[in-house]
Amino acid sequence: MGFFKVIAEDTGFSIRNIEHASCPPFPGTLSVKYVDRGYKESCPAFNKMVREVLYKYDTVIIGGTWPKYEKTSADFEKDLRKTIEDFLKDEKKVVIALRAPGFIGYDKACVQKSIKLPFLSCEKRSNYSDRGDIATNDRIRKIVSEYKDTTTLSLRNLICTNGICSAYKNGMPLYYDEGHLSIPGSEIL
């Protein structure tokens, strides 16, 4: 969200973040097959509530743990298409935020540990050779290319540069955990 906050402030746009942890942004009860038991009621109710206030906005940016959803259900592509088509039917511009690169083994306490262990290089421990984007992001790009007023947003080119993907930018950590950018990190980007 910090990334969008900075863009909104710099350009004078208004932006509103509405999210429910572990809840894919699919309409109706489509989200139920993707969530754990504890979210089977709250997730569809949340998505219904969000759709009731979207009339105020021209553009909708949706994101999620797309690779997890794709692995969970063979209906992922159909459900994503239904989501896009519903927004387009309501005359919205749609932006699909692609999954950012992940960092298995990322240690968010590394910076603090490096104070006691000065030889510890947090940046070196949190980077890897860029092997290209994940297949799920590529499939989403292909789907999105079939729709008007729909695009994707990727932060990958800001995280992976010169053949290296790094959880740090200019010495500053970007991530909260292995798969989620921190708010300060996303503002840096």
Whether residue 106 is predicted with pLDDT greater than 80 in this model: the reply is yes
- pLDDT band with cut points at 50, 70 and 90 for residue 145: very high
Written as one letter, the residue type at 32 is: V
Whether residue 1 is predicted with pLDDT greater than 80 in this model: the reply is no
Lowest mean pLDDT among 5-19, 54-68, 87-101, 157-171: 5-19
Q: Report the alpha-carbon distance of residue 45 to residue 167 in Å, rounded.
A: 35
Q: Report the alpha-carbon distance of residue 65 to residue 35 in Å, rounded.
A: 11
pLDDT confidence of residue 56: 87
pLDDT confidence of residue 108: 87
